[in-house]
Amino acid sequence: MIQMVNVGYRLGKNTIISGVNLRVNAGDFVCVVGPSGAGKSTLLRLIHMQIFPTQGSIRVADYDAHRIHPREIPYVRRKVGIVFQDFKLLEDRDVYDNVAFALYASGVKRRHIKKRILKILAEVGLSHRRYAMTLELSGGEQQRVAIARALVNEPFVLLADEPTGNLDAESTRDVLGLLKRINTKGTAILMATHKEDLVRELPVHIIRLRHGKVIE
């Protein structure tokens, strides 16, 4: 569960977001919609504990953003998967190693790793591409690798920051369909996008953000 109460974030004199209240429960699909600069990415970065609120409180699973020790942050990130518009894949490794890395980092035993990777790659439809280098993949495929990497540790929520921002229409449909399937299996999704028309047809809870404030 994610709970944000009256959260604000200032960077110098600029207020990036303020007074945000948000709750994401298991199985929710929430979309944060707003134009560029509205504070969507900041919201996700706060939940992922890349930055910390200057006002209000955030709880992610059992961790409080104000009280968390820096050494505990990696453990939060294993419970909160994240994908980005630019995929952030390791370009010097193949698909398999990109996903395996997240498991090694979590201390998963070697004998369990292969099984879990094959399972997650099958779920995202990339079993046949597991030995391909990431630069050989299409944008849609790269985003699916990123989703597989984010999900392989079985997080309770997946944060998706403009996951379709770099994709063509067909790949966008694929990725959204995949996110929907993941959500139906119980993983909560919190997606940020500036394209409201993308999510209108999805059975999701929409939060509109403008100038750092929730307007709806």
Partner 1 sequence: MSRHIMYSVREGMLGFRRAPMATTVSVTIVSITLTLFGLFALLTYNIQQLVNMVRSRMTVEIFIDYDLTDNERMRLEDRIRQVKGVTGLFFISKEEALRRFREDFGDDPLELLGENPLPASFQIQLDPAFRVSGRFQSVMDQLSALDGVDEVVGHNKLFQVVDQYSYAVMLIDSVIFILVLISTVFLVANSLRLTIIAQKRTVQIMELVGATRAFIRRPYLIQGLLQGGIGGAIASLVVWGAVQFVSLRIPNLLTAPLLLLVVPLVMGLLLGLIGSEIGLKRFLPV
| Residues that bind partner 1 in the complex, under the rule CB under 8 A | 48, 50, 71, 74-78, 82, 88-90, 92-93, 101-102, 104-107, 109-110, 149-150, 153
- Reference 55, options 15, 23, 25; nearest CA is 15
d(CA 11, CA 177): 36
Give all strands of the β-sheet with 29-33 in edge-to-edge order: 80-83, 157-161, 188-193, 29-33, 205-210, 213-214
The nearest distance, CB 104 to partner 1, in angstroms, is: 5
Shortest spacing between CB 214 and partner 1, in angstroms: 25
- Least Å distance, CB 74 to partner 1, is 5
Closest approach of partner 1 to the CB of residue 102, in Å: 4
Cβ closest to partner 1, residue 154 vs residue 168: 154
CA of 113: how far to CAs of 131, 146, 147, 182, in Å? 15, 17, 17, 20
Q: Give the strand order in the sheet containing 2-11.
A: 14-24, 2-11, 55-60, 63-64
- Closest CB to partner 1 among residues 114, 205: 114
Q: Would you say 104 or 131 has its CB closer to partner 1?
A: 104
Shortest reach from residue 216's CB to partner 1, in Å = 30
For partner 1, the closer of residues 120 and 207 by Cβ is: 120
Nearest to 161 by CA among 81, 88, 84, 46: 84
Nearer to partner 1, 157 or 207 (CB): 157
